Amino acid sequence: MTDIALRTDNLSRDFASASGTIRAVNGLSLEVEAGTIFGFLGPNGAGKTTTIRLLLGLLEPSAGRAEVLGFDTKTQADAVRTRTGALLEHSGIYEQLSAEDNLEFYGRVWGLPADNRRARIEELLTQMGLWERRKDRAGTWSEGMQQKLALARALLHRPALVLLDEPTAGLDVPSAAAVRDDLVDLATREGVTVFLTTHNMAEAERLCSRVGVIRQGKLVAVGSPDELRARTGGPRVEVFGRGFGAEALAQLRARPEVAEVDANNGHVVIDLRHEADAAPLVSLLVGAGVEVEEVRRGKASLEEVFMTLMEEAR
């Protein structure tokens, strides 16, 4: 039996606003397996942050329920919060304190014994490459360093589940990569379940074994990146070369296995209706006078899948 770290059942949350009632989360039913990284994707205002706040018991559901690590988020919110780590918009870092003192403070809040606390702080700051700078005031650190410190804070008490709202937003490429490595390490080595929101499709693709896509509060798709690709787009062949004339492209489009052809500057993307041999397509192109340089089997990026899902949900 797989262990389920969190489960929502028809979870909904309304907000009153000047423009009427907004259903920010609408009938969300979702399960996330323990020890996996789940990515929650959606456009601005889709309901991602509201979902995290519901999962932490910081907001009460208007309807439905959520269970986190076996605890009901409405009636057992304290139990949920002591076992989870969260990174929300407000990082919880005190700028006037040193990095080390920040973690020391939170370690005390969590009731970690002194030895254990010091060892854990050293472990986390070392892992994140921040140990040498631990005496600096946190407010003097760069945005990326502060974000890593906030992540260290969320992980301090060794939670079984972390809920992270855009953990790499605003980070430079190496810092974002380092945070991603830390998250993968957490899930694979320590069995921590990671639930994160992101706008970065490449990040979701790299990190997440499953992703959920939310739009206007509703879950429009859930599955592994490969499953979503299979749902929204079939296999594809990419051809690089010269001389893709109108006639060659028309012949390609007339083939029964070809769904769509997109030609652009010596690069043609052929979306197929189903798995099919690429050789006849290449022969056709060569026969029509194209100088073929390279042929690749491709797949749609998660970004394209996301765009298709958003279109479909309209």
**Residues found near ligand ATP in the complex (CB under 6 A):** 15, 17, 22, 24, 42, 44-50
Bridge partners for 71 per DSSP: 68
The residue among 20 and 113 lying less far from ligand ATP, judged by its C-beta, is 20
Q: Least Å distance between CB 175 and ligand ATP?
A: 20
Q: Least Å distance between CB 18 and ligand ATP?
A: 9
The residue among 102 and 200 lying less far from ligand ATP, judged by its C-beta, is 200
The residue among 48 and 120 lying less far from ligand ATP, judged by its C-beta, is 48
Q: Least Å distance between CB 165 and ligand ATP?
A: 7
Q: Which segments of the chain does DSSP mark as H helices, in order? A: 48-55, 77-83, 99-109, 114-127, 143-155, 173-190, 201-207, 225-232, 246-254, 279-287, 302-312
Whether the CA torsion 149, 153, 157, 160 is positive or negative: it is: negative
Q: Least Å distance between CB 182 and ligand ATP?
A: 22
The residue among 53 and 157 lying less far from ligand ATP, judged by its C-beta, is 53
> Is 48:40 a contact under the CB 8 Å cutoff?
yes
Who's near 1: CB < 8 A, 6+ residues apart? none
Strands 37-41 and 193-198, by their bridges, are parallel
Q: Least Å distance between CB 62 and ligand ATP?
A: 12
CA distance 177 to 291: 39
CA distance 70 to 76: 10
The residue among 24 and 272 lying less far from ligand ATP, judged by its C-beta, is 24
Q: Least Å distance between CB 17 and ligand ATP?
A: 5
The residue among 44 and 265 lying less far from ligand ATP, judged by its C-beta, is 44
The residue among 58 and 79 lying less far from ligand ATP, judged by its C-beta, is 58
> Is 212:222 a contact under the CB 8 Å cutoff?
yes
Q: Least Å distance between CB 95 and ligand ATP?
A: 23
287: helix, coil or strand?
Answer: helix
Of the candidates 92, 91, 88, which has an alpha carbon nearest to the alpha carbon of residue 59? 88
Q: Least Å distance between CB 210 and ligand ATP?
A: 18
CA distance 114 to 104: 9
Residue 273: other Cβ atoms inside 10 A: 13
The residue among 46 and 66 lying less far from ligand ATP, judged by its C-beta, is 46
Whether the CA torsion 145, 149, 154, 158 is positive or negative: it is: positive
